[in-house]
Amino acid sequence: MVDPTTGSTQTLQDVSTSLDAINVSADRVAASLTGAFSKAVTSGKAFDATLQGVLGNLSKMALNMAIPPLQQGLSALTSAAFGGGGGALRITPFAQGGVVAQPTYFASGGNVGLMGERGAEAILPLARGPDGRLGVAAGGQAAPVNVNVTISTRDVESFRRSEVQISSALARAVARGQRGL
Write down the domain spans for the chain. 12-82, 98-136, 145-181
pTM of the model: 0.29
The mean pLDDT value for 146-171 works out to 82
Within 8 A by CB and 6+ apart from 57, the residues are 32, 36
Q: Please tell me the distance from the alpha carbon of residue 94 to that of residue 109, in angstroms, as a whole number.
A: 17
- Phi, psi dihedral angles at 93 (to 5 degrees): -80, 140
Secondary structure class of 153 (helix, strand, coil): coil
The predicted pLDDT at position 1 comes to: 47
The predicted pLDDT at position 122 comes to: 86
Query: Does residue 120 come out as left (phi exceeding 0), alpha (psi in the -120 to 50 range) or beta?
Result: beta
Tell me if 50 sits within 8 A of 37, measured CB to CB: yes
Q: Please indicate whether residue 82 or residue 159 has the higher confidence score (pLDDT).
A: 159
Quote the mean pLDDT of the chain: 74
Q: Which residue type does 163 have? A: E
Secondary structure class of 100 (helix, strand, coil): strand
Q: CA 106, 74, 29 angle in degrees (round to 5)?
A: 155
The mean pLDDT value for 100-106 works out to 82
The mean pLDDT value for 6-21 works out to 67
pLDDT at residue 88 is higher than 60: no
Alpha helices in 44-146, H assignment, sequence order: 47-82
* Displacement of CA 95 from its chain's centroid (Å): 16
